[in-house]
Amino acid sequence: MLKSCKYCMRIHDSKFDCGKKPKRKKEVNDINKFRWSRRWREKREQIAERDKYLCQLAIREEPPRYIHSDIEVHHIAPIAEDYDLRLEDSNLITLSEEYHEKAECGEITKEYLRSILKEQYGYDYPPGE
């Protein structure tokens, strides 16, 4: 069947590979498999609900900002660092895209993020202690 190709803008058979379609860039490993999993999607939604779909850093600014768009769930201890904490509530916090980037590159400390969760929810780190 002939179709219009959204990659090369030509019409060709739907099974024909024109070579313009981008290849998947992310390698398949345990961390990426987890990020694509249903368990992660469900946990991410649960954490966003827990945090009322708000950036937990922006609401602590003076004056508070209520950022509810571009919300991402951040792993305080990265998955590569401690795979066992990937689904722990005490290791997950909602951040805006802006603050998430800062947390990823270390501008916002893990200790500060953990202190927010301890203050708001009483979580101890590491969990169970």
Question: Own/partner pairs for 45-51, CB < 8 Å, 24+ apart?
Answer: 47/73, 47/89, 47/92, 47/93, 47/94, 48/73, 48/94, 50/89, 50/121, 51/93, 51/94
> How many domains does the chain divide into?
1
Look at residue 12 and tell me if it is in a domain.
no
In the prediction, which pLDDT does 22 show?
Answer: 80
Could you tell me the residue range of the domain that residue 76 belongs to? 30-121
Look at residue 25 and tell me if it is in a domain.
no
What's the pLDDT tens digit per position in 5-59?
Answer: 888 888 988 888 888 888 767 677 888 889 889 999 999 999 999 999 999 999 9
